[in-house]
Structure 1
C-alpha cells in the first residue's frame, strides 16, 4: 500500500544525473560523498523496480534523445544525442510508481480524477508495422491479442542490427496518441491497468488536477477539486489533451527549424542516412549525424520513371527495375535547407553503396524554393499523421 501526505519538499543536494550516476559507479565527489548511503539505497530500489518492470513487460523502446545546443545569440552550435544512464531510469521508475499510487488511491477512495490513457494500436497501424518488419527481414506475429511483449520481441530481433533505430521508430509511430480522460481505459505502453499523471504539477495541468483530487479525498483543505471542477472534468481532459498535441507539434517544428538552420551552412555536403519512409512524391531519409529528416523529391531520383508501391513502401524503376525501399542505407547530398519551414531537400547519390544515375533535370529544376516549401508542408502533414504517440 501507499500513503500520501500534504507537504513541501526541499531539494537540498540538487544533484545532476551525471553526479548520481558517478556515485553509483563508485566515483564520489565532495557533494555526493556524504550522500553515499541514501544514493546506494535509491539505486537498490531502482534495481528492484526493474525486476518488477521486467515481469510487467512494458513497451521497451530505445530512442536516443536529441540535444540541440544554442549559443547566447540563439544560433545552433551543435547537435548530439544524449546518453541515457541508470540515474535517468531510476527517476523514471520512481515517477511511474508514484503516478500509479495516485491513481490507485483515488480509485480506492471513489474520487474522480483524470487518468492518463494509452490505447492499443489500431489494426491498420499494426499491419503497417508488420510490413516494415517484413521489409527488414523481421517478424511481428499475426492472429493474436496484442500485448507489449509481442512488440518487445520484435524490438529484441532488431537490437544490435542495422535496423535497430528504424524498427524502434516504426513501433513508436504505430502507437496511438495518449490522452487524458475521467474514465480508466488503462495504459497499453506501460502495461498498467490504471495510470495518472501526478509527479509534475508545476508544468502539467493534469498533475495539478490529481493533486487537488488528493486534497479533496483526504480533507486537507478547501483548495481541492470543487463540484464545478468534477462536473467539467470531461471538458478539462479534452482541452489539455488538445493542448498537449499542439505543444508536441510546436516542439517538433521548432527542432526541424533549428536543424535546417544548422545544416543550411553545409549546402552541398554529403550525409549518410537511412530511408525512413517512401511516399508517392518522394523518399524520406533520416540523417545519421543529426537525426534530421529530409525529403528526396521523386522527380529528382535517377534518370527513369519510378512506380510507387504503398504496400511495400517502395519505388521501382520502370526501365531498370531498381528498387528503393524503406530501411535501405543511402548517401545523400544536401540540396536545400529552409530554416523558415524546417524543410530539408536532399539529392540521392547512393543506395546500399551503389551509385544512382543522376536525372537530367536534377533536384532543383522547376523552381526549387517554391516546390521545397510545398513539399515540406505536404511531408510534414503526412509525418504528423504517421508518428502520433503517447
Structure 2
C-alpha cells in the first residue's frame, strides 16, 4: 500500500432490521482508518418498510423490483446530503441469502446511484466471494481488523454486531493484515433483533423492543430456551458460516403462546446464548467484546451477554466509535480496497477458498452510454 494516499469514501448500510439507511464517511487508504467524517441517516417510512418486507425471501419479481426502487431512492436521498466522497460503497438491501446454494441477492443498482450522484459506486460485494465457495458474509471483518489497529488494541478482541442477524468477528491485531492466517475469524452466530422486532411489530404494531423494556420485564422460559439452543444444527457447524434473516423462524413459533414480555425475554436469552456458543469457536479468548448494531441499545440483552461472556462486553461507543454507523463505514473501507485491487474476504471470514476481492465498480456516465448503445 506504500505510496497510496488516503481518500474519503462514503459507505452505506440498509440492514435486515429494515429501519433505514445509514451512511458514513471514512478517510482510508484501504489499510488504515485515518479519520471519520460526516454521517447521515434516512429512515424508511412504514409504507416503504412494507414494500421491503414483501420482498424478503424473494430473488426476483414485482416485489423485488419495488424494493429496489425504494432502496435506490432512499440511498440517493441520504447520500446527496453528504459532500466530499471520492467513492461510494453501496451494499443494497439483502432480500435473500442462501450460501449453501451459492446464491445471494441484494436489491438496488449501484450504476443508477453513480449516475444520480456523479460519484463512482462500488457494489455487489458478495458475488465474487460466493463464486469461489465463500458464504458471501459477513463482509465487515476486514474493517473490524482495521478498527482494532486504529484503537491501538494489542490483544485479540471480538466485534459483535447485533443487527437483524447477529455476527461476530474475532481479530488478532498483531497479525500483518486481515487476510493473514489467524488474523480474523468471522461468522453469524444466530438471530439478532429480527425475531424480536417481528414479534413486537405483529403483536403491538411497534418497530422494536424500545430500550429493552420487554426484555427486562419478561421471564425467560428455561425449558424453551434449552430447546432452542439444543435444536439447531447450525450451532454445530464449524465457522465460517452465515444465515438468512428467516433461517430461525421456528424460534418465533416456539414462543407463540407466551406473553409479549416473556416471549421477547426468551428470544433475547436465546440470542445471547447463541453468541456464547459462537465465542467458544474463537482461537483465543478475547480481551473484550465490543458490541455494535441495534442490540447494544437493549440493556436487558447486554446484561445477558455479559453474564455469558468470558470478558467485558461493551458498546463500541465506550471505545469512541459510532455503533450506528460502523456497518456503513465498513463498506466505505471495502470500496477503497476494491478500487485498489485488495482482498475483501478470506478463508477465515467467509470460508472462501483464498483471499478474494469483490465488488463491481460503476462510474458516472456508464449507464447512459449503455442505454444509448442498447
TM-score under structure 2 normalisation?
0.28
Relative to the length of structure 1, the TM-score reads: 0.27
Please identify the structure whose Cα radius of gyration is greater.
Answer: 1
Higher relative contact order (CA 8 A, sep 6+): 2
